[in-house]
Amino acid sequence: MSTIGAYFRLARAGWIMLREGVVAAVPGEQLIGLPKAGWRIARLMTKRRASQADRSERLSKAVVRLGPSYVKLGQFLATRPDVVGAEVALDLANLQDRMEKFPKEQAIRQIEESLGRPVDDLFAKLGEPVAAASIAQVHPAIIAGDAAHKVAVKVIRPGVRRAFFRDLESYFVAARLQERFIPATRRLRPIEVTETLAQVTKIEMDLRLEAAALSEIGENTKDDPGFRVPRVDWERTGRDVLTLEWIDGVKLSDLEGLRAAGHDFKLLAANLVQSFLRHTLRDGFFHADMHPGNLFVEPDGTIVGVDFGITGRLGKKERRFLAEILYGFITRDYRRVAEVHFEAGYVPPVHDIASFSQAIRAIGEPIHGQPAETISMARLLTLLFEVTELFDMHTRPELVLLQKTMVVVEGVARTLDPAFNMWQTSEPVVGDWIAANLGPRGMLIDARDGVNALMSLARQAPDLAKRTEKLTREIDDMAEFGVRLDEATTRAIGRAEARHTRSGRIALWIIAVTLVFIAWRLF
């Protein structure tokens, strides 16, 4: 029954998207069967309706009507231009995550249930909410004591988990239908993308994990010039509550406020980009939602990042990959850029490295004919990912998230300084990282890591030998007697297949009924 409900929720979402003209704005030439018929009808409906708003506004209106779960889905898909396309991702990035505030009484109940203490024991005063988003809202509060101080209290929206996981089932239905009816998108792995959404949102809905991210980045950046994060009050933090130092500063989106405070825009732009690159290359852990509304500037010019619900991680291989391709483009060593892709396993070895190097050159050469201040590093990565699609490079979520964040950070920097030189500003950070990790010192570190890995493998050798022996016996048994399934497993497979067939028929009926209803409303 829950599967049937998922189909109906999906049909409702489709109808709202259709009414707002969103479905017709999405490319549908690759669709087949009933979905393509629905897309064509949607285009007809849109032509009959007066176009009073652009696509971004229509999309925003539709997502807000669908509720907090879809706002979160939109935010997530904004980080995946490889899945929804660059234009739609940009529309989603402009989505304002502003929801109606819920009553302070509900927030108090959430706080007390999460922390197990009366709110009066925790705070001398808890104010009315000052901002509300899809997952949580923020209240100002005062902590009493010898050093009374103001804090920000972030509280989870009541019922948001239940609503999200109810809607998540319909997202999986949509992903399965996409794989079935749009073969060209299978390489994007829509089901895996949905699983990633589920995992990311689970993490974001546990505010203890956001507190841990703040704590980790705080340690990483404690000696960095010009950047910091708020301090976490762990005593007043739980699954549904996050208490932080209150930040008194000007939002980076408030250009007039920054100008009135006397801040140096060029210095702020350089500080922002260099901080982001340090977090990415040095630490492998970065704030993945660095839009200007999440960045404050203190009176001394220090940038303070907030809202760490979305973060990204890069392993050592990915960081080396990023540094080497940037360095290769700077030095016009396109062969090396191509080799890095193959060494990292991003491009299948069936392809010719010389042909791939030629494609990389097509991206790099136009860059060297431009003034440095007009070259966009984010645009370079976007073009690079477009070319790698031609060579069957599978989606790398961590790299796509990095590219999306770099687009945002570079855009903010150019808003502050239209003549911003990305390459000159990045060189000290990227150059130091390359010297430390790709030179002699880096070779010593790699050798040390290799020795540690061998020692770990040696310690595990007895256990590995036992597992190998057991696996060999099992393979011999299968070769002699075949694969055997017990009766319970056979029955379970039968039930799963029956459910799948029944769900497919139900989906087709729902789609057909929806199309008939749309046609009736249209004509």
pLDDT in tens, 32-72: 566 666 666 666 666 544 444 466 677 777 777 777 777 77
List Cβ neighbours of 164 (8 Å cut-off, separation of 6 or more).
68, 69, 72, 201, 205
Q: Which pLDDT score, from 0 to 100, does residue 213 have?
A: 94
Question: Of the ranges 26-30, 48-52, 202-206, 471-475, which is most confident?
Answer: 202-206
Q: Are residues 284 and 192 in the same domain?
A: no
In a domain, 516, yes or no: no
In a domain, 168, yes or no: yes
**pLDDT > 60? residue 223:** yes
Q: Which pLDDT score, from 0 to 100, does residue 520 have?
A: 45
pLDDT, mean of residues 99-110: 91
Asked if residue 360 lies in contact with residue 337, where contact means CB atoms within 8 angstroms, the answer is yes
Q: Are residues 351 and 296 in the same domain?
A: yes
- SS3 state of residue 227: strand
Q: Are residues 266 and 187 in the same domain?
A: no
In a domain, 146, yes or no: no
Percent of the chain at pLDDT above 90?
A: 26
Report the candidate in 105, 76, 300, 90 with the shortest Cα–Cα distance to residue 190. 76
In a domain, 420, yes or no: yes
Q: Which pLDDT score, from 0 to 100, does residue 38 have?
A: 64
Q: Are residues 78 and 178 in the same domain?
A: yes
Q: Which pLDDT score, from 0 to 100, does residue 320 have?
A: 85
Q: Are residues 276 and 197 in the same domain?
A: no
Q: Are residues 174 and 314 in the same domain?
A: no
Q: End of a domain among 406, 422, 438?
A: 438
β-pairing, 250-251 vs 125-126, is unpaired
pLDDT, mean of residues 200-204: 80
Q: End of a domain among 403, 438, 473?
A: 438
Q: Which pLDDT score, from 0 to 100, does residue 117 have?
A: 93
Q: Are residues 319 and 170 in the same domain?
A: no
In a domain, 191, yes or no: yes
From the number of C-beta atoms within 10 Å of its C-beta (0-12, 13-18, 19+), residue 137 rates as buried
Question: Is 289 a known active-site residue?
Answer: yes
Q: Give the model confidence (pLDDT) of 123-182 as tens digits.
A: 999 999 998 888 899 999 999 876 789 999 999 999 888 888 788 777 788 777 777 776
Q: Which pLDDT score, from 0 to 100, does residue 416 have?
A: 92
What's the domain count of the chain?
2
Ranges of beta strands (E only) in 5-44 are none
Least confident of 86-100, 105-119, 257-271, 407-421: 86-100
Q: Are residues 180 and 259 in the same domain?
A: no
Least confident of 167-171, 283-287, 359-363: 167-171
Q: Give the model confidence (pLDDT) of 226-278 as tens digits.
A: 999 999 999 999 999 999 999 989 999 899 999 999 999 999 999 999 999 99
pLDDT, mean of residues 439-446: 51
Task: Return the structure tokens found at 239.
Answer: 């699954």
Biggest alpha carbon–alpha carbon distance for the chain:
82
Task: Return the structure tokens found at 204.
Answer: 């974001």
Measured torsion, CA atoms of residues 389, 83, 49, 97, in degrees rounded to the nearest 10: -140
Least confident of 315-319, 352-356, 388-392, 453-457: 453-457
In a domain, 134, yes or no: no
Residue-range definition of the domain harbouring residue 60: 2-97+161-203
Asked if residue 68 lies in contact with residue 99, where contact means CB atoms within 8 angstroms, the answer is yes
Among the listed residues 97, 206, 233, 289, the single catalytic one is 289
Residues in the chain: 523
Q: Which pLDDT score, from 0 to 100, does residue 1 have?
A: 45
Other CB atoms within 10 Å distance of the CB of residue 90 = 15
Q: Which pLDDT score, from 0 to 100, does residue 515 have?
A: 47
In a domain, 350, yes or no: yes
Q: Are residues 377 and 304 in the same domain?
A: yes
Backbone phi and psi for residue 140, each to the nearest 5 degrees, phi listed first: -80, 150
Asked if residue 288 lies in contact with residue 405, where contact means CB atoms within 8 angstroms, the answer is yes
